[in-house]
Amino acid sequence: MTKDEVLAKLNFDVELRGLSKNTQDEYYSRVKNYQNHYDKPATELGEEDIRQFLHYLATKKS
């Protein structure tokens, strides 16, 4: 799955869940940033990648 395919699936899934447009946009933005940080689709990333990204956000972007 490509990064764009992941984002398209995310959009489809959050629309099905009936989330507000603002929530949909926030989910999209956060997943896009996560994927861009690693330059890989989220489907190719795992738990340790998430932990490392959260650490990056807590220490580098604040």
Residue 18: HSE in the Cβ half-sphere, 13 Å Cα cutoff: 0
Average pLDDT over residues 31-59: 96
| Block residue for tokens 């959260």 | 54
User: Which long-range contacts (C-beta less than 8 Å, at least 24 apart) are formed by 48-55?
Assistant: none
Q: Which domain holds residue 11?
A: 3-59
* Residue 42, pLDDT above cutoff 80: yes
Q: What is the number of domains present in the chain?
A: 1
* Residue 3, pLDDT above cutoff 70: yes
Task: Please give the pLDDT value at position 62.
Answer: 54
Global pTM value = 0.86
Average pLDDT over residues 11-36: 96
Q: Is 26 helix (H, G, I), strand (E, B) or coil?
A: helix
Residue at 30: amino acid letter: R
